[in-house]
A and B are shown apart, each in its own frame.
Chain A
Amino acid sequence: MDFKSAVLGRYNARIYKSRKDHIVEVKDGVEQKIAANTRAVPGIMTNRGCCYAGCKGVVVGPLKDTCVITHGPIGCGFYSWGTRRNKARPDSDGNNYIQYCFSTDMQEADIVFGGEKKLKRAIDEVMAIFKPKRIMICSTCPVGLIGDDIHAVASQVEKDYGVTCVAFSCEGYKGVSQSAGHHIANNGLMKKIIGTDDSGTITGHTVNLLGEYNIGGDGWETERLLRKIGYNVVAVFTGDGSVADIARSHRADINLVQCHRSINYVAEMMKTAFGTNWLKVNFIGLKAIAKSLRDLAVFFGDSQLVERTEMVIAEEVAAVEPEMTALKARLNGRKAAIFVGGSRSHHYQELLLDYGVETVLAGYEFGHRDDYEGREVIPDIKEDADSKNIENLVVEPDRRYRAFLSPERFQELKETIGLEEYAGLIRAMGDGSWVVDDLNHFETEEMIKVLKPDVFFSGIKDKFVVQKAGVLCRQLHSYDYSGPYAGYSGALNFGRDLTMGLFAPAWKMIDPPWREATHA
């Protein structure tokens, strides 16, 4: 029985109808369509989180020079405190607020009588104690329901204190997953932060790194590579990121997009407003890194940069290749399944191939069709009731609009290096592999039985479910507290961790000697 019938056959008619278009077999030469970014089925154990998790947890949370205040009961702020491994070092003023959790800890009376007063009082206290230059407010479910006007409070705070204050109405019930929260966060950054600092000069070949959250130090490793070649990284969205940098990001020559799902809105809006070109990159896996770096050098068209790029690639590869080759000898021919949030389910396939590991199943928790099928499907995506509720911010060309490329050169680069293109996950996968959107607990169990992967890359909610079933599970949200996995040294770290996991002595001891051996 194939994977699809194994899973769908167990569903009632209603779930069957909801799920059948989210499961697709990859076939060479066939353009597959997939359903994505639709409502999860109530009662079915999805891995998805909520809008607040996408806004505060993913995009806004990593900003280190900002007090991010969660307006709501205590839970949401608490759960998103220090749990995503988006590392940060203090900014030039010595501030690092990501170690802190700020919550209005709403009580019953605040729900009944309104929470705006408490929010304002909370901000007054934060200003008095921490004296931040920037404050952000993130709403949780009840705030939207009782109608607290956090945007009015933010305006008042700006007047009272002369600081930047951005409010995000990212109540958990909005949209169908974290994805709505990414969008809301992107809009807030665009409206209030990007393009607000024209002071000083920025020189050299300038880039922003978008959708890099510095999990396990990935962003630092990527920046190290870029700087080694000679690029000037203006801002990172948002790992080890700061509002101060993002305010200047409109002055960079190009936006490099790592996580497409969570940040493509900013890339698009900056293109419209400031003319900033964007390039989809991937700093996970040796071939992918080399391609990203070479494409970037081509973008700038500077022969010295091209030369320097090749030199750095050669140097970095030489440093990791012998050990990676040795690890590949142990990993070659294994099968993997990857189910993470946004773009990583695509990115890591490239790194796995460096080790000869084939991906038999992949999917996104909250991807949209363009993440699977490529950006050319965007005009065909129908808006539904849930996506309509998320503001689609329309921006106009700014007075500082600057075209870095001539229209002819832009067209040429679009075709040669895929400038402002993204081909999606499905095309990256091999014939006969499976793509599943919003994979759930039941499907994970069935998948393991039918597809028998050697390793399952997922998150903490799955980890012990999978391992109890006798299959290694490595977390690709937190890297199981290891990393970085980006860049060349990251590729090596990843190979070491995967080998360590697969060859853990305990896997061979599952069967007690007094029982018939049924496991490896």
Chain B
Amino acid sequence: MLDQTPKEIAVRTGICVNPLKTCQPVGALYAALGVQKCLPHSHGSQGCVSYHRTFLTRHFKEPAVASSSSFTEGASVFGGGANLKQSVKNIFDVYDPDVIAVHTTCLSETIGDDLNAFIQELDIPDGKLVVHCNTPSYVGSHVTGFGQMVAGFIKYLAQKSEPVNKIGVFPGFVNPGDIRELKRLFGLMGVTATILPDTSESLDNPMTGTYQMFPEGGTSIEEIRSLGSVKRALALGPVASKEPALVLKSKCGVETDLMVLPMGLARVDAFIMKLKEISGAPVPQELELERGRLLDLMLDANQYFHQKKVAIFGDPDTVTGLTAMALELGLAPKYVATGTPGEAFVTEVNGLLDQYEAKNGTRVKASADLFELHQWIKNEPVDLLLGTSYGKQIAKAEDIPLVRAGFPILDRYGHAHHPLIGYAGTRRLAELILGALMDRYDRDCADEDLDVVM
């Protein structure tokens, strides 16, 4: 496995090998799937949407429906306006969504299609909507694309009117299980919130024997409109949620708290304190018990976490959360990498490492790829990989256990149902990590060292 990867590290400025990110449009598509009766639409060649639907379906094991402008060479020369016009008519005729969420691709961006102008000229049926965002594939990553689409919904739909007694929440690039957990936490803390997008009921669907192209769930148009009138908003995950926060401020004057994802005990604490500040309600006993149980596990099993070297990789908002959590557990982050560009990631991770005095030659990098991470590991190995499915190649090549967390996870089932956030999510991930490390010890130790009790 990966036998051609040499130990010697050469500086690369041209070739990306084994990427740790993908392109903006797939993030935009994912975000749009969290809006009620919305059909995501890719303005480009049909190959893009085919790849994106495939990719999302493989992660969620759920249908990911979306349409395409199906550019041909002709459209690429003359512009895609006619294709969009035809698409919109056909989509409303055949699939009848309430809203079409268009995102661009490197193709339509390179030829300079003006989506604002195209959409203004469309003949949109009464009561129906078309929104858009720009997601050239040569900028950012799938995480920023996600933010662009959320911002697109705000730009088109949010309206400032009579204040409503709730908050707006941009949950970040997380799984349906995380959103369900957010809702539960809001319920416990007495916070009324509109979450955009909400994939908890659209990408984690029960089997009923009846296929519904547009599941009941998702943020409704009305709820998105009302985001312009909320008293404040929380934007979780700075890379994914900064853009919608900025747009909501500039369009409707809503103040937003830009926060890290609530992963790891301290970050969940901060999040709960924020909710307490918003609602003025006390923290319920139930939540305090949950916190206590997480803390209990952290202390009970501390010796098995202690100073185990870990490589953490994936999307920036998730990886910083995982790093915070790893440090709390007593793990030693050796390599922390994201493929998404942006030096704020490096600054944040370094800050965490400083806080725990854990900077022992730790390498931290944005715009990294898995090839480089593998080379680091070849030079100085780790005990654990914590990240996405593509890490399994390195896991196999170097015989290191991999705990899957983040996006994408293409080779496991049921994972998107579980949260990574909150005390509950943190506790579950801690248990998964513990199991991987302890299984590994049991497998590798001498017969006389095998302990039935640990």
Is A45's CB within 8 Å of the partner chain B?
Answer: yes
Is B53's CB within 8 Å of the partner chain A?
Answer: yes
Query: Do A75 and B23 form a contact, CB below 8 Å, given A46-B68, A125-B14, A129-B6?
Result: yes
A464 proximity list for chain B (CB < 8 A): 57, 61-63
Q: Whole-angstrom distance between the alpha carbons of A144 and B106 in the complex? A: 12
Is A441's CB within 8 Å of the partner chain B?
Answer: yes
Query: Do A460 and B51 form a contact, CB below 8 Å, given A101-B17, A104-B16, A468-B210?
Result: no
Q: Which partner residue on chain A sits nearest B9 by CB separation?
A: A129
Is B107's CB within 8 Å of the partner chain A?
Answer: yes
A140 proximity list for chain B (CB < 8 A): 106
Chain A contributes a number of interface residues (CB within 8 A of B) equal to 97
B63 proximity list for chain A (CB < 8 A): 461, 464-465, 468
Is A73's CB within 8 Å of the partner chain B?
Answer: yes
Q: Whole-angstrom distance between the alpha carbons of A386 and B46 in the complex? A: 14
Is A511's CB within 8 Å of the partner chain B?
Answer: yes
By the criterion CB–CB under 8 Å, are A173 and B22 in contact? no
Q: Whole-angstrom distance between the alpha carbons of A43 and B44 in the complex? A: 11
A445 proximity list for chain B (CB < 8 A): 211, 213
Is A454's CB within 8 Å of the partner chain B?
Answer: no
Is A202's CB within 8 Å of the partner chain B?
Answer: no
By the criterion CB–CB under 8 Å, are B22 and A511 in contact? no
Q: Nearest chain B CB to A139's CB is how many angstroms away?
A: 12
Query: Do A465 and B211 form a contact, CB below 8 Å, given A42-B69, A95-B4, A386-B73?
Result: yes
8 Å CB contacts to B: which residues of A30-78?
39-53, 69, 72-78
Stretch at the interface among B131-139, B175-183, B277-285: B131-139
B141 proximity list for chain A (CB < 8 A): 74
Q: Whole-angstrom distance between the alpha carbons of A103 and B21 in the complex? A: 12
Is A268's CB within 8 Å of the partner chain B?
Answer: no
Name the residue in B54, B65, B88 with the highest tally of chain A Cβ atoms < 10 Å from its Cβ: B54
Contact for B58 among A51, A69, A460, CB less than 8 A:
A460
Is A141's CB within 8 Å of the partner chain B?
Answer: yes
By the criterion CB–CB under 8 Å, are B110 and A141 in contact? yes
Q: Nearest chain A CB to B63's CB is how many angstroms away?
A: 5
B139 proximity list for chain A (CB < 8 A): 107-108
Is A81's CB within 8 Å of the partner chain B?
Answer: yes
A519 proximity list for chain B (CB < 8 A): 209
Is A333's CB within 8 Å of the partner chain B?
Answer: no
B390 proximity list for chain A (CB < 8 A): 81-82
Chain B contributes a number of interface residues (CB within 8 A of A) equal to 83
Is B87's CB within 8 Å of the partner chain A?
Answer: yes
Is A258's CB within 8 Å of the partner chain B?
Answer: no
Q: Which partner residue on chain B sits nearest A12 by CB separation?
A: B93
Q: Which partner residue on chain B sits nearest A390 by CB separation?
A: B73
Is A385's CB within 8 Å of the partner chain B?
Answer: yes
Q: Nearest chain B CB to A370's CB is how many angstroms away?
A: 22
B54 proximity list for chain A (CB < 8 A): 79, 83, 459-461
By the criterion CB–CB under 8 Å, are B138 and A141 in contact? no
By the criterion CB–CB under 8 Å, are A53 and B50 in contact? yes
Is A100's CB within 8 Å of the partner chain B?
Answer: yes
By the criterion CB–CB under 8 Å, are B138 and A110 in contact? yes
Q: Whole-angstrom distance between the alpha carbons of A311 and B32 in the complex? A: 59
Q: Whole-angstrom distance between the alpha carbons of A78 and B90 in the complex? A: 31
Query: Do A94 and B3 form a contact, CB below 8 Å, given A42-B69, A43-B87?
Result: yes
Is A174's CB within 8 Å of the partner chain B?
Answer: yes
Name the residue in B10, B137, B390 with the highest tally of chain A Cβ atoms < 10 Å from its Cβ: B137
Q: Whole-angstrom distance between the alpha carbons of A106 and B106 in the complex? A: 10
Query: Do A122 and B211 form a contact, CB below 8 Å, given A53-B47, A108-B136?
Result: no
Q: Which partner residue on chain A sits nearest B85 by CB separation?
A: A42
Q: Which partner residue on chain B sits nearest A128 by CB separation?
A: B10
Contact for B46 among A11, A12, A49, A511, CB less than 8 A:
A49
Query: Do A42 and B106 form a contact, CB below 8 Å, given A50-B45, A77-B19, A79-B55?
Result: no
A441 proximity list for chain B (CB < 8 A): 65, 213
B323-350 vs A, CB cutoff 8 Å, 1 = contact: the mask equals 0000000000000000100000000000
B46 proximity list for chain A (CB < 8 A): 40, 46, 48-50, 177
Query: Do A15 and B47 form a contact, CB below 8 Å, given A125-B15, A173-B71?
Result: no
Name the residue in A44, A45, A176 with the highest tally of chain B Cβ atoms < 10 Å from its Cβ: A45
By the criterion CB–CB under 8 Å, are A463 and B57 in contact? yes
By the criterion CB–CB under 8 Å, are B14 and A386 in contact? no
Q: Whole-angstrom distance between the alpha carbons of A278 and B412 in the complex? A: 42
B191-213 vs A, CB cutoff 8 Å, 1 = contact: the mask equals 00000000000000101111111
Contact for A81 among B13, B18, B110, CB less than 8 A:
B18
B208-236 vs A, CB cutoff 8 Å, 1 = contact: the mask equals 11111100000000000000000000000
Contact for B15 among A52, A94, A102, CB less than 8 A:
A102
Q: Nearest chain A CB to B241's CB is how many angstroms away?
A: 22
Q: Which partner residue on chain A sits nearest B54 by CB separation?
A: A460
Residues of B near any A CB (own CB < 8 A) = 1-4, 6, 10, 12-19, 21-23, 25-26, 41, 44-48, 50-55, 57-58, 61-76, 83-84, 86-91, 93-95, 105-107, 110-111, 136-139, 141, 205, 207-213, 339, 371, 390, 393, 410
Extra A-B contacts (17), CB below 8 Å, given A110-B138, A441-B65: A14-B86, A41-B70, A42-B69, A43-B94, A44-B67, A50-B50, A74-B21, A75-B51, A97-B4, A104-B15, A108-B136, A118-B14, A125-B14, A145-B111, A177-B46, A468-B209, A470-B210
Can you name 15 A-B residue pairings with CB atoms under 8 Å? A39-B70, A40-B68, A46-B70, A48-B46, A48-B47, A78-B22, A82-B390, A100-B371, A108-B139, A111-B110, A145-B107, A461-B63, A463-B57, A469-B209, A469-B210
Residues of A near any B CB (own CB < 8 A) = 10-12, 14-15, 39-53, 69, 72-83, 90, 94-97, 99-108, 110-111, 118-126, 128-130, 140-142, 144-146, 172-178, 385-386, 389, 441-442, 445, 459-461, 463-470, 506, 510-511, 518-519
6 shortest A-B CB distances, which residue pairs?
A: A50-B47, A75-B23, A43-B87, A121-B14, A122-B14, A43-B90
